[in-house]
A and B are shown apart, each in its own frame.
Chain A
Amino acid sequence: MKYGILVNEGPYQHQASDTAYQFAKAVLDKGHELYRVFFYHDGVNNGTRFAVPPQDDRKIAELWSQMAEAHGTDLVVCIAAAQRRGLLDEGEAKRQGKDGNNIAPGFRISGLGQLIEAGIQCDRLVVFGD
């Protein structure tokens, strides 16, 4: 079965990012296809590589990046939500005249159309948030 996941809450806020990750992992473990994970609102904060959580804490952004590397998972960050919260890739940093970018490996910045498309393409769209 083809799955899409929507994450509306930032990491370390409550538990939505953790649940979304564990659910995504279980989807892959069961042999389903994970078509896309879309990060919206504060969920875009899952995609910064500048997060430095305490050593004994879970490293949420890193876990997503590892999932993308191991399974080719498409991790998409909403562009408008990302710009408001200071999440940039190289192209956006240049376009906005900023001095650096902070997007984590495996993530890409795109538009809401990617969420709509996931809703159309996937058998199930599961939402996690606050």
Chain B
Amino acid sequence: MSMLHTVNKSPFERNTLVSCLGHATAGSAILLIEDGVYGALEGTAHSDLLRGALADHSVYVLGPDLNARGMTDDQVIEGVSVVDYGGFVDLTEKHEKVQAWL
């Protein structure tokens, strides 16, 4: 069973991204939304954490939330896919369960 995990807080604020990556089984997808998008940025103290997750998971970031915070698609870690709200819906359709890490 494949699962989609959503993380909505920055890894600099909470440990939900770390918890999520610690629990998510290989093959599950991770979508970073709201302040969670900071976890997708290249060149931060948490970049290696997410880069490591790319080996076992497909990782997505919500573009509108990235842009709302003044960041562009080219600032995210290579291998992370940028999606819009329609893409978010598609991901929930593709994966049987959606787990929000609140």
Q: Mostly helix, strand, loop or mixed at chain A's interface?
A: mixed
| B85 contacts partner chain A, Cβ-Cβ < 8 Å | yes
B contacts with A, residue count (CB < 8 A): 18
In the assembled complex, the Cα of A125 lies from the Cα of B84 at a distance in Å of 19
| A66 contacts partner chain B, Cβ-Cβ < 8 Å | no
| Residue positions of B touching A, CB distance < 8 A | 6, 8, 33-35, 64-65, 84-86, 88-90, 92-93, 98, 100, 102
The reply to whether A130 and B102 form a contact with Cβ atoms under 8 Å apart is yes
Q: Mostly helix, strand, loop or mixed at chain B's interface?
A: helix
The reply to whether A15 and B34 form a contact with Cβ atoms under 8 Å apart is yes
The reply to whether A25 and B85 form a contact with Cβ atoms under 8 Å apart is yes
The reply to whether A129 and B34 form a contact with Cβ atoms under 8 Å apart is no
In the assembled complex, the Cα of A14 lies from the Cα of B102 at a distance in Å of 12
| A95 contacts partner chain B, Cβ-Cβ < 8 Å | no
| A67 contacts partner chain B, Cβ-Cβ < 8 Å | no
Q: Give the contact-size bracket for chain A.
A: 20 to 34
- Given A3-B92, A26-B84, 16 other A-B residues pairs in contact with their CB atoms under 8 A: A14-B35, A15-B35, A16-B8, A19-B8, A22-B64, A22-B85, A23-B88, A25-B85, A26-B86, A27-B89, A30-B89, A124-B93, A124-B98, A126-B98, A126-B100, A127-B102
